[in-house]
Amino acid sequence: MLFLGLTGSIATGKSTVSSLLSRPPYSLSVIDADLIARQVVKPGTAGYNAIVRHFGSTTPDLLLPEDGSKGRPLNRPALGRRVFGQGEEREKDRKVLNSIVHPAVGKEMYKQMVWAYLKGHWAVVLDIPLLFESGWEKYCGTILVVGVTDPAIQMKRLRERDPHLSEEDARNRVMSQGDVREKAQRCLKRGPGRGVVVWNDSDKDHLKKEIDRVMQEIRQGSPRWWSTLLWLCPPLAALSGLLSWYRMRKVQLAWAEEEKKEKAKL
């Protein structure tokens, strides 16, 4: 089974691509890290309790009024204002939040990945906004980055989608997820078939055509007969997965070393 990593940056169209891949003619199973991240911080969960303990006393509007669930839901915009943006304090708070949410998200994703394999899917989409930053790239046989060539497009789309965001809030959220053009370069470093990029600067019809193009390329590199063979022979699937992990781990380390050398030149 192919683990197809899907990433990008906020307001680049990644969610639209995820939706397209989940419907015919692809009908792929999608493991959505953002959706899981919301589920693991619902009232009553361990993640919710940890967030309230850490941020509650210093973020007065952290919780919304009760909505009939087990408690008061998190006020996500208020929490976002607390952790997104520049500055040592915000960076520290963001790390705390990530340390609470990421382990719970990872555990649930592993469960869903195993379940997708047992159901015999030829591929499963790992929809992860911070795929490279979280280290999940090494688990992906192929990565698809959805990007835009101009940051102004991101800002415009984000404020149209979330009109409650100020220009500063929108800029902070865009910056917090890194430069999508750098993600595209990192993706292509993986080599043909293992890293593909879709530039979503135009309309949805153009995006659909681009997805058709890249999915044909991906399908050629991971035919259904191979996926079926891996499903019928779990030891072969385990060996194939380990080999893929090893190759992609080498790419990951090579990129980190290249970044280190570039920083040393500054």
Q: Which of 131, 146, 129 is nearest to 204 (CA)?
A: 146
Q: How much of the chain, in percent, has pLDDT values that exceed 70?
A: 99
Helix then strand then coil, in percent of the chain rounded to 5, is 60, 10, 30
Sign of torsion, CA 255 170 76 162?
A: negative
Residue 209 makes CB contacts below 8 A (sequence gap 6+) with none
Q: Which of 18-22, 54-58, 133-137, 170-174 has the weakest average pLDDT?
A: 170-174
pLDDT over 80 at 68, yes or no: no
Say if CB 19 and CB 209 are below 8 A apart: no
Say if CB 128 and CB 8 are below 8 A apart: no
pLDDT over 70 at 266, yes or no: no
In the chain, where are the structural domains located? Answer: 1-28+121-266, 38-120
Q: What is the mean pLDDT of residues 237-248?
A: 92
Please tell me the distance from the alpha carbon of residue 181 to that of residue 78, in angstroms, as a whole number.
Answer: 28
Instruction: For domain 1-28+121-266, give the fold.
Output: Rossmann fold (3.40.50)
pTM, two decimals, is 0.85
Q: What is the mean pLDDT of residues 215-224?
A: 88
Please, what's the largest Cα pairwise distance for the chain?
56
pLDDT band at 209 (very low <50, low <70, confident <90, very high): very high
pLDDT over 80 at 63, yes or no: yes
What confidence score (pLDDT) does residue 224 get? Answer: 84
Q: How far apart, in Å, are the Cα atoms of 10 and each of 121, 202, 228?
A: 28, 16, 35
pLDDT over 90 at 259, yes or no: no
Say if CB 195 and CB 187 are below 8 A apart: yes
pLDDT band at 97 (very low <50, low <70, confident <90, very high): very high
pLDDT over 90 at 221, yes or no: no
Place of tokens 């050629």: 220
In the structure, how many helices (H) and strands (E) does the chain have?
12, 5
pLDDT over 70 at 90, yes or no: yes
Please tell me the distance from the alpha carbon of residue 103 to that of residue 106, in angstroms, as a whole number.
Answer: 5
DSSP letter, residue 84: S
- CA 80-82-87 angle, to 5 degrees, is 115
3-state secondary structure of 5: strand
3-state secondary structure of 250: helix
3-state secondary structure of 32: strand
pLDDT digits (tens, 9 = 90+) for 98-115: 999 999 999 999 999 999
pLDDT over 90 at 222, yes or no: no
Please tell me the distance from the alpha carbon of residue 248 to that of residue 266, in angstroms, as a whole number.
Answer: 28
Say if strands 29-32 and 142-147 run parallel, antiparallel, or are unpaired. Answer: unpaired
pLDDT over 80 at 198, yes or no: yes
Say if CB 230 and CB 1 are below 8 A apart: yes
Q: What is the mean pLDDT of residues 168-193?
A: 86
User: What's the mean per-residue pLDDT of the chain?
Assistant: 90
What confidence score (pLDDT) does residue 24 get? Answer: 94
Q: Report how far apart the first and last C-alpha atoms of the chain are (Å, whole number).
A: 42
What confidence score (pLDDT) does residue 69 get? Answer: 65
